[in-house]
């Protein structure tokens, strides 16, 4: 008996480290968190900001999933598409849950639910009624309906849902209760509570836009994502009835104040008008709110204080700053389709970084440049000594074009990005333009022939994808030339639009040549996919010997502090590229379908713009478009029978497409 006790005790001693270690390992396992995000009431700009901030919140790796608690009767098409883009760019799976029992996800809510990776409804909840409505009247325009159908059918394909049923939400305004939606293949689960949702969803394989993911939700805990005050204010103002009332009443009071001066009614009218416009989509920030208060006070003082109008001018200057410029429209309401800009604007993370970075604007930017160089080096698998920052990619192009002085010959496609040609002419560099091939790709054979006739240094400019045509040139053909080119033939490869073209057949970056070939320079920008055109930041990637060689040309502080902090935040916003590419893809599809429907010739696009044929004079065409609120592309000789159009938000492209139809009926395109 004693022997058995000894063996038993010895066994406990031997097992105890395992037990203790096992317990410690369990304690050290990170807690599983699920972020609960309310998507409720009217879907507007406030909801867009709330969703975007939520996606940023889960990017730190602490969360297993996002659950959207949906309870809405609908909202704007633009805001809905932006939320879908945020869902598709989320680094973790997104579950849509129409909750609690008896609630609804109608119209815009149905689109959002169908965009989620797992669609769930509580008992007695309802989805459907997805036909668009304007002013209370259903939209029956074929073009608009077809665009929305394609969006819904695309979501059905991604998530393997019943394509026919999802289409009927739009064409027949179908409404389904939870059990009906489950039977008809529109959703995956019905859950009575949040806890039951986690239990049922655990272990399910969902199809995200990036591929299959198995949900790991066993023992997970919900964390509610709180609205920031700015979002709460904008969401309240976004109510269509309230925003319309504020605008209407504001105009009436403003007129009353102007016709009956002395009571300060115009101040109240201006404030109500501004609040109503915010609710209809204008951007706002706390600094602007403060300026609005200052402006109102100055105008009131002007009414009662003789000051030769100085106070009134100050007040009228301060008030409009509340309406910060929309990334989509100019102050006169026009939409820019002429500069290949990102209609989404900068990343919310970049916006916050700029605000936080203002305190250091009195300092030179050296300290803020270094983290950007390190982040870019890590992103591209090179060293910081391979990175050259510039005041936009245009400055980087200028530095390399002017590196050798007048003795170099530059060979470039025609047409292409004009700045390179302009920089060459400024220092009397000999320039050889080579017409594009019939498929609008670079004629590399002809370019090689031109280079071979010159014994001195040559620089070959390759814009791939090309601006203004939007077409790509075979990367294999470019590689073949680089591989046999002599050391004094330099390749300046402009990849400003690379992120939009990575799905183009036969296209890839030229970065692989950087470690071994000092004669290859790759140029990138933050202006396009990152939406930072106004901040001016680009960069070159080259062999360290080449970067060192241009060091005496480049300005030391050419990348400013705010651009640097915004760039770093943009690089860390892992969903930004996916959001931008998705919006671009949908906008391009809308325009291409319209052009094909109208029989208008257009070039294949792998960028955020395309070229289409027009009839008549370019200036007349631009003037007619400007009269209708559209700013379209400039002349690109020799392609004067084509106009370049940059892609805007999908709903803007729907409206632009209607303008094209009108132009077609007049024979202008």
Q: What is the 3-state secondary structure (H, E, C) of 210-240?
A: CEEEECCCCCCEEEECCCCHHHHHHHHHCCH
- Check residue 524 and give its pLDDT: 98
- Check residue 28 and give its pLDDT: 56
CB neighbours of residue 2 within 10 Å: 6
Mean pLDDT by 10 residues, the chain (669 residues): 46 43 50 93 87 86 93 88 85 94 93 95 94 74 79 86 93 92 95 94 83 89 88 73 76 72 67 70 51 53 48 44 50 85 90 91 92 97 96 95 88 95 89 96 97 93 97 98 96 97 92 97 97 96 95 85 96 89 91 95 97 94 94 95 94 90 91
Burial environment of residue 107 by CB neighbours within 10 A (0 to 12, 13 to 18, 19 or more)? buried
Question: What per-residue string of b and e applies to 223-248 under the rule 16 or more CB within 10 Å gives b?
Answer: bebebeebbebbbbbbbeeebeebbe
CA 534 to the chain's CA centroid? 15
Helix axis angle for 77-88 and 650-666, nearest 10°, is 130
Task: Tell me which H or E stretch contains 168.
Answer: helix 163-171
Task: Tell me which H or E stretch contains 248.
Answer: helix 240-259
Tokens 């009431």 map to which residue? 41
Confirm if 559 and 398 have CB atoms less than 8 A apart.
no
Cis peptide before 465 (omega within 30 of 0): yes
Name the DSSP class of 511: G
Confirm if 237 and 243 have CB atoms less than 8 A apart.
yes
Confirm if 335 and 631 have CB atoms less than 8 A apart.
yes
β-strand pairing of 642-646 with 609-613: antiparallel
β-strand pairing of 189-190 with 211-214: unpaired
What are the tokens at 279? 């609710």
- Check residue 407 and give its pLDDT: 87
Number of helices (H) and strands (E) in the chain: give both, helices first: 25, 24
Confirm if 72 and 40 have CB atoms less than 8 A apart.
yes
- Distance CA(212)–CA(450), nearest Å, equals 50
Name the DSSP class of 494: E
- This prediction's pTM: 0.64
Q: How far is CA 339 from CA 293, 397, 464, 534, in A?
A: 35, 18, 17, 11
Tokens 């579950």 map to which residue? 95
Confirm if 544 and 516 have CB atoms less than 8 A apart.
no
- Check residue 329 and give its pLDDT: 61
- Check residue 258 and give its pLDDT: 66
- Check residue 309 and give its pLDDT: 44
Question: What per-residue string of b and e applies to 352-373 under the rule 16 or more CB within 10 Å gives b?
Answer: ebbeebeeeeeeebeebbeebb
- Contacts of residue 606, defined as CB under 8 A and 6 or more positions apart, other chains included, come to 465, 470, 471, 472, 497, 500, 501, 504, 507
β-strand pairing of 205-208 with 609-613: unpaired
SS3 content of the chain, % helix, strand, coil (to 5): 50, 15, 35
Q: Give the chain's length.
A: 669
What are the tokens at 388? 């050259």
- Check residue 21 and give its pLDDT: 38
Question: What per-residue string of b and e applies to 269-294 under the rule 16 or more CB within 10 Å gives b?
Answer: bbbbbbbbbbbbbbbbeeebbebbeb
- Distance CA(461)–CA(147), nearest Å, equals 38
């Amino acid at each position: 008996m004693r022997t058995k006790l000894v063996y038993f005790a010895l066994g406990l001693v031997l097992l105890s480290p395992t037990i203790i270690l096992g317990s410690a390992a369990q304690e050290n396992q990170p807690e599983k968190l699920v972020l609960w995000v309310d998507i409720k009431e009217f879907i507007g700009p406030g909801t867009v900001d709330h969703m975007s901030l939520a996606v940023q919140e889960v990017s730190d790796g602490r969360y297993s999933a996002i659950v959207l608690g949906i309870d809405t009767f609908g909202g704007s098409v633009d805001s809905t598409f932006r939320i879908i883009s945020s869902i598709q760019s989320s680094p973790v799976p997104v579950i849509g849950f129409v909750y609690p029992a008896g609630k609804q996800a109608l119209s815009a809510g149905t689109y959002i639910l169908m965009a989620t990776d797992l669609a769930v409804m509580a008992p007695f909840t309802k989805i459907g009624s997805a036909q668009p409505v304007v002013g209370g009247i259903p939209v029956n325009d074929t073009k608009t309906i077809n665009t929305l159908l394609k969006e819904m059918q695309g979501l059905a394909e991604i998530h393997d849902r019943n394509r026919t049923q999802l289409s009927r939400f739009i064409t027949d305004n179908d409404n389904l209760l939870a059990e009906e939606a489950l039977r008809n293949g529109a959703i995956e689960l019905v859950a009575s509570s949040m806890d039951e949702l986690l239990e049922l969803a655990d272990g399910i394989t969902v199809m995200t836009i990036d591929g299959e993911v198995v949900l790991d939700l066993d023992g997970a805990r919900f964390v509610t994502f709180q609205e920031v005050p700015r979002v709460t204010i904008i969401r309240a103002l976004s109510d269509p009835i309230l925003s319309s009332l504020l605008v209407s009443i504001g105009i009436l009071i403003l007129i009353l104040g102007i016709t009956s001066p002395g009571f300060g009614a115009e101040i109240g009218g201006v404030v109500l008008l501004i609040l109503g416009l915010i609710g209809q989509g204008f951007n706002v920030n706390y600094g602007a709110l403060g300026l609005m208060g200052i402006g109102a006070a100055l105008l009131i003082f002007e009414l009662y204080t003789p000051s030769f109008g100085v106070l009134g001018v100050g007040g009228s200057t301060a008030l409009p700053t509340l309406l910060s410029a929309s990334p989509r429209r100019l102050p006169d309401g026009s939409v820019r389709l002429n500069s290949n800009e990102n209609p989404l604007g900068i990343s919310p993370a970049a916006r916050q970084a700029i605000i936080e970075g203002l305190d250091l604007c009195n300092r030179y930017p050296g300290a803020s440049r270094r983290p950007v160089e390190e982040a870019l080096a890590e992103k591209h698998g090179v060293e910081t000594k391979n990175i050259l920052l510039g005041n936009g990619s245009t400055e980087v192009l200028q530095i390399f074009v002017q590196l050798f002085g007048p003795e170099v010959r530059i060979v470039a496609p025609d047409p292409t990005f004009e700045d390179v040609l302009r920089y060459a002419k400024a220092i009397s560099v000999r320039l050889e333009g080579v017409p594009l091939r019939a498929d609008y790709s670079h004629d590399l054979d002809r370019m090689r022939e031109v280079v071979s006739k010159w014994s001195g240094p040559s620089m070959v400019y390759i814009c791939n994808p090309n601006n203004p045509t939007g077409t790509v040139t075979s990367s294999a053909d470019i590689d073949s030339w680089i591989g046999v080119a002599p050391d004094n033939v330099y390749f300046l490869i402009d990849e400003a639009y690379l992120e939009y073209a990575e799905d183009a057949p036969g296209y890839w970056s030229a970065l692989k040549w950087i470690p071994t070939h000092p004669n290859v320079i790759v140029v990138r920008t933050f202006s396009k996919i990152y939406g930072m055109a106004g901040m001016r930041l680009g960069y070159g990637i080259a062999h360290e010997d080449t970067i060192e060689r241009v060091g005496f040309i480049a300005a030391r502080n050419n990348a400013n502090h705010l651009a640097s902090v915004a760039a770093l935040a943009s690089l860390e916003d892992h969903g930004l590229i996916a959001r931008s590419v998705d919006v671009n893809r949908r906008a391009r599809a809308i325009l291409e379908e319209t052009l094909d429907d109208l029989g208008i010739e257009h070039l294949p696009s792998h960028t955020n713009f395309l070229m289409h044929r027009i009839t008549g004079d370019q200036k007349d065409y631009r003037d007619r478009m400007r009269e209708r609120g559209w700013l379209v592309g400039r002349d690109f000789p020799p392609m004067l029978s084509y106009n370049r159009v940059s892609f805007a938000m999908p709903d803007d492209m729907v409206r632009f497409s209607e303008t094209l139809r009108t132009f077609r009926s007049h024979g202008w395109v």
